Amino acid sequence: MIDCPRIVIGGTESGAGKTSITLALVAALRRRGARVQTFKVGPDFLDPSYLAIASGRPCYNLDGWMMGRDYVEKLVARVTADADIAVIEGVMGLFDGAEPDSLEGSTAEIAAWLKSPVILVANVYGMARSLAAVVKGFATFERKVRVAGVIANHCGSVRHGIMLAEALQASRLPPMVAAMPRGAMPELPSRHLGLVTADARDIPPETLEALADAFEHYSTLSEIVNMARSAPFLYVEAPGRKGLAERMRLGVAYDTAFHFYYRDLFDELEDAGCSIVHFSPVADRNLPERLDALYLGGGYPEEMAAELSANGPMLAAVRGFAASGRPVYAECGGLMYLCSDLETVDGKRYPMAGLLPAGTKMHKGLQALSYVNVTLKEDSLWGLAGQSVRGHEFHHSTLTANPAGIEGWLPVYSVKKRWLDAPVEEGIQKGSILASYLHLHLPSRPRALEHFIHTCERKPADEQ
């Protein structure tokens, strides 16, 4: 059962200020002693790192298009079981998603599934009574979505906020629950598609205190909590966790260069008998002992290219591991690490692991941003030919050559993108090595996880 009070922080558009507002709300709630479980709508690895620090708990992604309703509901039921309140940060504008004519993949879809009230964040710079027209449109656009309150962000003054609240009240619209003046909250660093992936140095306690102070001062926090409590109980059929004994040990690259992972993937892997062992391609000289497979996820290897290239012992260890025939899975940044070299935007080239017969080149502009539907052309680490999984891609680099057909490398993904009529080939595989630019959402595909673990797990002969 989902009986946790919950609220969705949606926006009128990207850039309205959802992330700062959500962080401030979470910090204020936590300062009052609440156990806050955070979620981020959409395929995002950046905002969740901030939300995890603010809440002191792991943040989980919710994506209707990639995961499906059943998985979303079960995930929320599981991770909110010991929480006092759930705060869900939206993506883009409230109704923006995978399709232009439906709720699919949008913040609104998640709010509708979870029957969660929405607080709408609007950038009100240069706006007066027009805010009422905007809010009326959002509040009446989709009957399955309930806009319960409004946060006016970037107000010009206290009087400006009062005027906006009066405009909403006069039109009998959802009430103003916060009017945040411009400059009231500390700035957060930004890069690429959003925020820098956070650690405690980027968002120290004093920053969280400043965020909480601002929110406490300019909002009616108790009213927001009451809105969250208005969310009804939801009954979800969720089987108990398996909690199997260790079947395999998965080495996961995790450091300043590699940290784009969905938290629920590790939850599901561990529950199915996979032990997660972190290592750092930047700092460690050797791989951990007794590993059965490697997972090199996404991140910012271009920012640490010199350090990664200089760590010869680790590069040799990864090459040796791959040569042993044990599985290696590399995703986006991990693919870049397995290539022959990495060229940064300033034209400098750094040798990498050299397993893939191609290099990568960084570009200033985004090279790909899309949901993807993947069908396996061949048997792979994540399933058998014909099976499918969903995911997304976003990257600023490109391959300098197509490895397909070179030295035994073959494409194993048939990828359908919404704006392309025909599928494209992706996912380069050779033996037990699979590398791709795509970020697959695997925890919502239990058959894929079981296939992976079964492929990697130690057999009796391996332990003799």
Q: How far apart are CA 381 and CA 413, in angstroms?
A: 12
- The residue assigned the tokens 């009070």 is 5
Please confirm, yes or no, whether 456 is among the known catalytic residues. Answer: no
What does the CA dihedral 191, 195, 200, 203 come to, rounded to 10 degrees? 110
Distances 179 to 136, 149, 157, 217, 259 between C-alpha atoms, Å: 18, 11, 9, 10, 35
Q: Which two tokens stand for residue 190?
A: 């930004």
Pairing of strands 194-195, 388-395: unpaired
- Evaluate whether 130 touches 92 at the Cβ level (below 8 Å): no
Give the whole-angstrom CA distance, residue 307 versus residue 352: 10
Residue 304 CB neighbours (<10 A): 23
Please, are residues 392 and 417 in contact by the beta-carbon 8 Å criterion?
no
**What distance in Å separates the CA atoms of residue 320 and residue 429, rounded to the nearest whole number?**
17
For residue 446, give the nearest of 273, 261, 258, 260 by alpha carbon.
273
Closest among 139, 218, 136, 128 to 165, alpha carbons compared? 128
Among the listed residues 312, 303, 369, 311, the one whose alpha carbon sits nearest the alpha carbon of residue 342: 303
d(CA 36, CA 2): 14
Given the residues 4, 59, 274, 332, select the one marked as catalytic: 332
Give the helix/strand (H/E) hosting 267: helix 263-271
CA 287 to chain centre: 26
Rounded Cα gap, residues 120 and 152, in angstroms: 8
Catalytic annotation, residues: 332
